[in-house]
Structure 1
Amino acid sequence: MTEPIRRDFFTERNGATRIEIFDELGDTAKAALHAFFRRSGAPHLMDEVVLPQFRDGDSQIFAAVRDRPWPPWGLGARNITGVLQTHLVSDGCWGLSPVHVADEDLTNTGLCAALYKEALETLAVDPGAEVHYLVAEESRLADLVMRRVGFERTEDVFLTEAARYLTYRAPARELLKNLGLAGADSVDLLAGAVDDEVYERNAAFHGTVYLGSRAEWTADRVTVPSEIARLVRGGHYSKPAGVPTGTGRFERDVLAEVAQGVRELLTDAEQDDLLRYVLDSETAFTPATIQPHGSGAAVVDERVRSSSVLHDLGRFEALFTDRIKEQLDTVRARLGHPAFPMGRIELQVTANGDRDYFGMHRDSDGGDTRELTFVYFFSAEPRRFSGGELRVFETVVEDGRVVPTDRSQTIVPRPNLAVFFPSRHDHEVLPVRVPGKAFADSRFSVTGWIHRK
């Protein structure tokens, strides 16, 4: 005999609740939202997060509302008990806030599930719509809960002062199914009229997202990490899993002129040969050096740069020189970099092992002939290191001086990805982690500089 679906502690309270979607906000709606966030203990969220995100466009607010019996209009008519906000991150990719509720509704799973269902159904009108979350790299609970409902962890990285985050993504339609919401009615969800398995799955998901995100809006210090962080529009180098956002093999987004990426510079066979050559040349690698400003002598200084380099690329020097020349005109145009008569191309292989990094620096101070910097990533598969992102900070030339702007780009070291950027740009390589400590597990790159004559 099938066990009847039980009533919920919140069934009666949710009975008078409806879901309202805000595409625009009038004064009374703003007042109701302000009152809700004040009661929830986070009054600053409205002015610091919700409204700015809403004004950016491509954002909706889903609210659980209990109407005043009479009159059901005017100031104070809406009593908001739950809020979920969606916002577009990039084409087809959406960030969803936690379902915000007051303390008395923290375990009101039906309310959270109903709001989330309405949001997912709205997004799922687009068959390609995806939901994204940022989860701290070493998270255990959030990683487990996200994967159980169908999220895939990608290598797209987001960096804050407090932590390093990875992007988790799931198609909106699949997420509806995996949470057991595709066939459920919002009224039934509010009443708690769902089976225990669906109820428990949604409780675990929403509880984890809410608690994992809480430090981000309650902590006063930006150095306090939150297990789950808010997504920022345009904060990723490319679409998930390296899907190009432009045409052909070029990856472009709103920051594409800071650095330009080219996928599949080498064939699979050429990649394999390159890796084999580098591994066979392990004993020829030497400690990497830097050239201090105003000094003509190169020195080893691991306080600034820790890695090893190989200066002899053998037969691969001609291969990379030819491929760089093939891409140069297109890359230069996409970067908006002035044309220049091409001179020599310097090349070397860099191996970044465990804890290796390269601090902030420029490859050209204007007193040499370097115009563009080139970095080609490759490594053993499956990848056995983490970290090592390349961060490039835009600069412009004003009155003959190199001046930094407020724009930057973080690039994940994906195999067979080449990146070009002006050599005057400040850039750094973030610390690499290689648990196995083996040379073969390193983050490898071919680094080059294109000179003008």
Structure 2
Amino acid sequence: MTSGTPAGSSENRSGAATPVLSTPFVYLEDVLTTAGADALLHSALDSIGPLDADGTVTELDVPELRAELARLSPVAQQVLGISLASGELRSAIMVHPHGRHMPPMQDVHPGETEAIAFSYFLHRRPRMFRGGGLRIFDTVVRNGQPSCAATYRRIAPEHDTLVIYPADAWNQVELVECTSEDPSEGRIAIQGWLA
């Protein structure tokens, strides 16, 4: 298990230090084993239909991933410093074919209760795309308000890896480049949220 590292500070226009807060995360490899990840990839590919504008294919319940998240949840909550209210889980398949990316965003919005976000990465092997890394940005405090810092950690979207991070953390999907327009050859992730 790997977790994020401290960020430090930066200077604002007046020359005074602006606090930069490191965003914690948990990174795990070989989450479902090769056979489990391959079976989930085939199931996910079978469910791919027309893509929504943001790349969401469909809501998806993944019992094997749900069980692994339940097992990892106490450690993730401790590392992230977040207590879950209910343990409720929502997940969806996110597909990023050639030319797709996501700008910096937060996974939680006013009125939503999700506290933790996760990305579980799958792809055909050998990998048919370049890019598609997940950037988890640090937080900078400007005028007393948290906002997206320029510093980040980049997580490569390796097959059968899981990243768990605060739902209010700024994150971004880097540009995906493929030689094909076939969505099944792009970046595929089970994106989810825990409350």
Which amino acid is 2:139 matched to? T
Shift, 1:254, TM fit: 2.8
Shift, 1:259, TM fit: 2.1
1:258–1:409 Cα contact (<8 Å) kept: no
2:121–2:188 Cα contact (<8 Å) kept: yes
Aligned with residue 37 of structure 2, among 271, 296, 300: 271
Distance (whole Å) between structure 2 residues aligned to residue 402 and residue 367 of structure 1: 18
1:4-403 alignment runs, 5 A limit: 250-252=1-3, 254-255=5-6, 257-283=23-49, 285-288=50-53, 305=54, 307-313=55-61, 317-335=62-80, 337-395=81-139, 401-403=145-147
Shift, 1:262, TM fit: 1.2
2:134–2:157 Cα contact (<8 Å) kept: yes
Length-normalised TM-score, structure 2: 0.81
Say whether residues 1:447 and 2:195 are aligned partners: no
The structure with higher relative contact order (CA 8 Å, sep 6+) is 2
Shift, 1:257, TM fit: 4.9
Distance (whole Å) between structure 1 residues aligned to residue 43 and residue 63 of structure 2: 14
1:358–1:429 Cα contact (<8 Å) kept: yes
2:48–2:57 Cα contact (<8 Å) kept: no
Alignment-derived partner of residue 19 in structure 2: none
Q: 1:405 to 1:355 in 2, by over 3 A?
A: closer
Percent identity of equivalent pairs: 22
Which amino acid is 1:265 matched to? V
Q: 1:402 to 1:369 in 2, by over 3 A?
A: farther
Q: 1:415 to 1:346 in 2, by over 3 A?
A: same
Q: Which has the larger radius of gyration?
A: 1
Distance (whole Å) between structure 2 residues aligned to residue 344 and residue 397 of structure 1: 30
Shift, 1:397, TM fit: 8.7
Higher helix share: 1
Alignment-derived partner of residue 14 in structure 2: none
Length-normalised TM-score, structure 1: 0.37
Shift, 1:263, TM fit: 1.3
Cα-Cα RMSD: 2.4
Q: 1:383 to 1:342 in 2, by over 3 A?
A: same
Number of residues of Structure 1 aligned to a counterpart in Structure 2: 179
Distance (whole Å) between structure 2 residues aligned to residue 370 and residue 322 of structure 1: 18
* Structure 2 spans left out of the alignment, 5+ residues: 7-21
Which amino acid is 1:327 matched to? L
What secondary structure, in the 3-state scheme, does the structure 2 residue paired with 1:382 have?
Answer: coil
1:362–1:427 Cα contact (<8 Å) kept: yes
* Structure 1 spans left out of the alignment, 5+ residues: 1-249, 289-304
